[in-house]
Structure formats: structure tokens, C-alpha cells
Chain A
């Protein structure tokens, strides 16, 4: 599948897909999307790279340890759950903060977004870890 067309198209598309996956992640609380969908989309984009250029080629450019991604993601999700307990709530309960900034307007943050980012990282790491290992297996 390493045609010039595929290479060129994927170079253009993959960054856009990744940006879109991040927007899906951040918008997930109110609009379609979320950590899982965003993560799978990110993973699909990278796997497109792997398929088009080959695992070895990608690895020679940038060696990525996807297992660290899911480790960090799991840590983040767990810390979110435990962190909220320090505020006196139950495990994994959500907390909501909203503030108005000049020029930008009102910005609100809900604690579950960190949990969702954790899910995002775990999904990316898990899928791509499996993907890379299977691709490297001779």
C-alpha cells in the first residue's frame, strides 16, 4: 500500500484527523465525541501511518512507547477519581468550576474532562501498542 498517493494523502490527512480527534475529546461533554471516540480516531490516524509507511520506517524516525501512553492515561484517570476524594466527594464524582475571563468570556471546566483525557490516552496507547507489536512480529 506504499503508493505515492497514499503517502501524500496520509501526510496531509493524519494531522487533520489528529486535530479533529482532539476536538472530539474536548467537545465530548456537550456534543458528540468523548475520550473513547477521540482515542480510537487518533489511533486510526496513526495506524494509517503505520500501514502506509511500514512500522519499521515510522519507528526509525520516531521510536514511540505506546505502553507509556496507556500507563499515563490510567494514572490520570485514577488520580482524577482519587483527587476528587480530597475535596470530600466520593470516588470519581464530578466537580464543576466556572469563571468569566475578560475578552474570552465564560469558561467552565468539569473535572471529568481529566478522566476523559485519561480514557483517551489509554485507548490510544492500548490500540497502538497492540498494533505496533503485531506489525513488528515477524
Chain B
């Protein structure tokens, strides 16, 4: 199959099949999870079908026209990097959705759960294969939205709602920055197409020399950091742990949070090789890695611990992509990409293990756990393999990429020289030490030690195979990649690295590569890690007491005060803008009309009464106009609603007579019909409200109202006189176009209708949408009122 077709199918099939999921659910009931994992498997197959050609022959790009006039096409860029992400996303998708069959109770709203998971998977696949930055942005925000819905899956838990909102504000907000960065890139290059930029070295040179280089880099980096929970934007990820655990494993460890890393890898050829890249990307990564690793200590929630560890591990990848400025870029890129793959395997596995533990013990608090190795032996083995891989113990895959991380940290330190030769490797080891400590905590706190009988349920047993096989498979991958890295390297890491570097890359990874500096760093890490672990609880206690003493030194505090402040401000603004009674709205509308009507008139030099006015008015018109005036005055002075309404409709019918006199039958007919309906509806409503005007108008209010209505009258009169007299004479009347073209172009003799359905068809479509929305709106208003009663 053509790779392009395969990828289009892989991206859009999840969307379509998610659409028919509710129908399938009626057939298969509780087994719907297997349908969803089947869809994920289909996507996995399709990505795998596209893979060989890309791995052999380099990047493939094709597009389908979408908005050609704006240079926007539905286009996919398929290279080693996107294939690797595609495999991870759909592969982990299969595992997660299979696991969910055991995890999610059949009493839950399974249809919504799997639908959103599939939508997320489709968006994520669309994102990694997008060749067009606008398309990438759309899929990017779709992943944010589906993540929002999945975090808030348990809608009535306030913590879920808080976490979901926070993640949406941070990640979708970051997306806006990223979009701005893309627009700056478009200003520099004139294209939205990633492939075009990547395949033309001269464009990349132009970008690097441009004044907008730094702003574009910073904006795109903010988007990536927000998505990947880097730097100050980390705050959303711990709260996202309120999602069902399979969701956390899928979105918030293995795939979605790596979107930022993907973006960094994708724009790597464009921005890397500069000092700004090293400082911003590398610096951000190192700081996040150390800080998040440290903050993980005080987490008592096992998922919270894993969340901080994810932030820290993403910092590793960020740092390695940032290192590429002064060293041969292949090392940093290859190790980052390799770590990305390894992290996806062991972290998803850890989350699934955490899910099993929480599922069986009914708690996520690590302080209540301990000694579960006897009751959950398989879970213990699987979880230990994954956690030891995270800690960097050989021969597991985490060891390999951590070793590469140490190597590249050492090298960049030496190349920079000065204090950096010590600082960067030291920071790397510190990150490793923290990682080691909390990984051991995960094993020790849950499975080892003494069982706390008072806190745990009496009988704890292994879950079904449905929940054991998925993490077991991942743990197997952890071991296989660790022992025999060459397969993964040849088929995934090398093509991905080539895709990022835009040249053929050769990556060598082996379990044993001599007694070198990196190995010394690893040994130091283990020793220091064990030393720190003995003080683990003391450090956590110190962190807690620090937080208790300095509540304001916290990014969460800043976020909460901003959000709460915005809530307060917006409700007071809404109270000001939406006071309730109709009169203030009318007044502001009319005053605005007066201002907007007169200002242009004064600017173009309109006159109160243009000279040379000649009215050719006949007796019928005069009589009609007099009657209209009478009924208008009547509507204003009548004391009862019912008379006022009748006066207003009399005026409407009289206006329709004017239309007839002007030979506009369509207009007249519409006016009569609308007037009739208006009167009937008004009369229906009027019987339910007090029959007389309740409020007594004081003199000052009357004077003010009279002034406003007179001003409106004068404005309309002057506008009409000037329009009639032709201060707009430079513009030709538009009606000639329709008179000439309605028969030849639209085959219709009724010009009004032709304008409505043909020339201005999209306007009409918009208007009928408004009618539908008005119908639904009124329905909801009435229903909500009767519900509240």
C-alpha cells in the first residue's frame, strides 16, 4: 500500500470508527473495549505498513488540496521520527485499551471512555504525521481537548474537574503561543509547510539569520514546554492524575506529554545549532529534570510520584535535544530518541502496575501500602522490572539510554569548558540520583517491607490476566530492548534520528562498552542514590514543612490566584455588561448606533439637510406615512401592553403597504407574515405578564428616554437624507449587478430569492443556523426555568 494512503487511513479511521462506536456498543455491550483495541491495532498495522518504505527511502510527503488559495493543504510528512511516534501511539493504544477492559467497571460510561480514547489516538497520530503547521496545530489542540475530557472523565469529582481545567488552560494556552511562533516562521519563510522548510537548506539559513528567529523559537518552545510539562508549566501534570489510570498511562506518560518533545525534535533542524537553542532547550531540560526529580520525594500518591518522575524524565529528553549545539548532533538526538522509546515502555508499564495496585487495595496512598509482594507476586515482578529500568539498572533498557545521557552530558560539558565541565555532568548525575531514589521508593513502598494490616483490605489478590498481560508485555519489551537493543535501534531509532538530522545516521548501542567515564557516573549514581534513599522520608518531611511555611512560594499558588482572580473579574464584568433588565441593553445599543452612525457621516462631510432635496411624494404615501406616525406615537403613549402591542403591529402592517406601493411584493409579503406571527406570539406572552406597565417613570427618566429616541430619529433621518442625496456617489449601487446577473448566472427571475439562495447563499445558511440555535435556546430557557421551579 502507498504509505500516504496508509497514514491517511491510520489517522482518520479512529475518528470514523469512534463515531460509530455507540452503535457497536449496542451490539457487543461490555465487550466494547475490545472493539476499541481492535481499532488501535488497525492503526498500528497501517503505520507498520507505511514504515518499510520510509525506513529505506527517507521522508515521504503528499497532500490533498484543502484551501489552496491560502497555501493550506491536508498534507502528511512521513519520516522515521513520525513513524516511531506513530508506532508508540498506536502500540501503547492497543495495550491501554486492552488493559482498560479489566480496569474499567462495566457500570462506567464505557462508550464515552473509549470514544474519547480513540479520538485522542486519532488526533495524536494526525499530529505526528502533519506536514503543515496549521494542521499540526489543529491536531495538537485536539489532543489537548481530548485530554481535558479524559482527565475530567469522572465529571462529578471536583478534583477531576480542577485537574482537567488546569491541563486545558496550560496546554491549550501553550498551543496559542506555539501557533504564534508558527505564524512568525511563516512571515520569515512564506510557507506553512514543514517539508518545504526541512528540505531546503537555504530557507533554514535564512531563518537562523532573521530578526524573528529568537521570538519564534521562544514561542514554539513555550508551546512544547506547556505540553510536555517542562519548567513552570509542569503544574498541570500532577493534577492530571485524577484521570482513570489507563488514561494516565496512555496520555500522561507515554504519548501526549511527548508531543512537546516531538515538536522539539521536529523543529530541531530549523533552530538547533545556535546558542539560544542550547540555553533555552538544554537549560530548561536540565532544570526541570533536577527540580521535578527532587519534588517527587514528597508525593504520597503513587500516581503523583510517577507524574513527577515523568516530568523529570521528559526533562532528560529535552536536555539531550538541547545539547546538540556544540557536539556532533547525532549523539544527543539518538540518545534522546532512544530514551523517549524506553520511557514510553517502562513508564506506561509502571502506570499500569500502579493501576493494578490501586484497583486491588482501593487506595493510592503509598504510606498505607507495603509488603504486597506476597499477595501480588506477578505485579511485583513486572513493577520491579519497570522501576529498575527507570532507575537505570543494567541490563534493562533504561540503563542504556541513561548511559548515553551521561556520555552526552559529559561531552557537552567538556566542549563548553570552564565551570560547565563539572556542572552539567553533576546535574545529570543528580537527576539520576533522584530518579534512582524514587524508583526504589516505588518498589520498596508498595511491595517490600511490612504489610499494614490496619490500612489495607484483608484479602488482596492478583487481578485477571486481562490486566496482567499488558504491563507484562511492556516489561518484556523493557528486558528485550535492554538485552538486544540492535533491533529497536535499527528499525526505530536510526530512522528517527535520520529524520531529525535530515541525513543518514548510524547509531550504535551496546550493553557493555568498556569501563569509561559514563560507567563511573552510573556507579556514583547508584551509591549516592542508596545514600539518599536512606534519608528519603526525612527529605520528604523537610519538603512538606517547607511548603507549609512558605505557601506562596509555589507555581500552583500563582496559577490559582490568577485563575481565581480571573473568575472574580469576569463575574463582575459580566454583572456590568449583563445587568438583566432589557432597558439598559436597549439604551446602550441605541447610543452605540448614534455614535457609530454619526461619526462616519461627519468624517465624510455629510450635511444635516443636503441641498437640492426634491421629494416627489404622492397622496397615498402621505396618508400612509401619517398613519404610521400616529400608530408609532400610540405605541409610545398607550398605558397597557396589549394596546401598545396592537399599535406596533398596526405600524408593521402599514409599512408593508408602503412596500406594496413601492412595488416590492416579496418584502411586503414577508413583512405581513412576520408581523402576524409577531403579534400572535406577543399576545400569547402578554397574557402571562401584568397588563399595565409596572414601573412609574419619573420626569428625569422620561426626559432622558426622549432625548435618546430623538437623537436616534435625527441620526436615521440625516443618514437617509445623505444616502438618498448621494454622498456615497463614488460607489456604484450593488443592485445593478444582481439585475444583470440573476437570470444568466442563477437562472432565476425573482432577484430577491436568487440573492437569498444563490448569490448570498452562505449568509442564508448562517441565518438558518441562527434560527435553529434560537429555537434550541428558547427551548432550553423555558425548560431550565420549569426545572428550577
Contact = CB atoms under 8 A, between A and B. Distances in A.
A129 B747 contact: no
Given A36-B670, A94-B747, A112-B746, A125 B757 contact: no
B772 A92 contact: no
Contacts of B673: 37, 40-41, 44
B782 A112 contact: no
A84 B774 CA distance: 28
Nearest to B774: A126
B638 interface: no
Contacts of A92: 758, 761-762, 765
A125 B769 CA distance: 12
B60 interface: no
Nearest to B673: A40
Interface string A57-79: 00000000011001101100110
Interface in B747-762: 747-750, 752-754, 756-758, 761-762
B669 A32 contact: yes
B670 A37 contact: yes
Nearest to A28: B753
A15 interface: no
A28 B681 CA distance: 26
B613 interface: no
A73 to B, nearest CB: 7
Contact of B779 (A40, A74, A133, A135): A133
Interface residues of B, number: 40
Interface in B192-236: none
Nearest to A108: B747
A73 B768 CA distance: 9
Contacts of B765: 77-78, 81, 92
A133 B747 contact: no
A112 B757 contact: yes
Contact of B778 (A77, A91, A122, A133): A133
A134 B685 contact: yes
Interface residues of A, number: 50
Contacts of B684: 51, 131, 134-135
B676 interface: yes
Contact of B768 (A67, A77, A91): A77
Contacts of B680: 44, 47-48, 51
B260 to A, nearest CB: 36
Contacts of A22: none
A60 to B, nearest CB: 19
Given A28-B753, A30-B750, A108-B747, A119 B786 contact: no
Contacts of A73: 768
Nearest to A136: B782
Contacts of B676: 44
B747 A131 contact: no
Contacts of B669: 32-33, 37
Contacts of A112: 746, 748, 757-758, 761
Nearest to B681: A131
B148 to A, nearest CB: 28
Q: Which residue among B747, B748, B752, B768 has the maximum number of chain A CB atoms within 10 Å of its CB?
A: B768
B645 to A, nearest CB: 15
Given A29-B753, A44-B676, A51-B680, A70 B666 contact: no
Contacts of B453: none
Contacts of B666: 32-34, 37
A125 to B, nearest CB: 7
B692 interface: no
A13 interface: no
B720 interface: no
B595 interface: no
A29 B742 CA distance: 10
B747 A125 contact: no
A43 B670 CA distance: 13
A94 B772 contact: no
A81 B775 contact: no
Given A40-B674, A81-B761, A92-B762, A29 B772 contact: no
Nearest to A132: B779
B630 interface: no
A116 B771 contact: no
A30 B748 contact: yes
A14 interface: no
A77 B771 CA distance: 13
B665 interface: yes
Given A37-B673, A110-B747, A134-B684, A116 B665 contact: no
A71 B685 CA distance: 26
Contacts of A66: 775
B362 interface: no
A70 B771 contact: yes
Given A44-B673, A44-B677, A70-B771, A31 B746 contact: no
Interface string B614-654: 00000000000000000000000000000000000000000
B554 interface: no
Contact of B761 (A47, A115, A125): A115
A31 B750 contact: yes
Interface in A102-138: 108, 110, 112, 115-116, 118-119, 122-123, 125-127, 129-131, 133-135, 137-138
A1 B786 CA distance: 26
B776 interface: yes
B681 A67 contact: no
B470 to A, nearest CB: 42
A132 B604 CA distance: 49
A137 to B, nearest CB: 5
B12 to A, nearest CB: 17
Contacts of A77: 764-765, 768
A73 B220 CA distance: 44
Nearest to A123: B771
A119 B670 CA distance: 14
Contacts of B746: 94, 110, 112
A110 B224 CA distance: 51
B677 A40 contact: yes
B752 A34 contact: yes
Given A34-B756, A70-B775, A47 B677 contact: yes
A33 B764 CA distance: 15
Contacts of B774: 126, 130
Nearest to B785: A137
A96 interface: yes
A119 B775 contact: no
Nearest to A129: B775
A87 B632 CA distance: 52
Contacts of A37: 666, 669-670, 673
Contacts of A40: 670, 673-674, 677
Contacts of A33: 666, 669, 750, 753
A1 to B, nearest CB: 9
A94 B748 CA distance: 11
Contacts of A134: 681, 684-685, 778, 782
13 contacts: A29-B747, A29-B757, A31-B749, A32-B666, A33-B750, A37-B673, A115-B764, A116-B753, A122-B772, A130-B681, A134-B685, A134-B778, A138-B786
Interface pairs A-B: 3 shortest CB-CB: A126-B771, A92-B761, A34-B753
Interface of A: 28-37, 40-41, 43-44, 47-48, 51, 66-67, 70-71, 73-74, 77-78, 81, 91-92, 94, 96, 108, 110, 112, 115-116, 118-119, 122-123, 125-127, 129-131, 133-135, 137-138
Given A29-B749, A115-B764, 11 more contacts: A32-B750, A40-B673, A44-B676, A66-B775, A70-B772, A81-B765, A92-B758, A94-B757, A112-B761, A122-B771, A137-B786
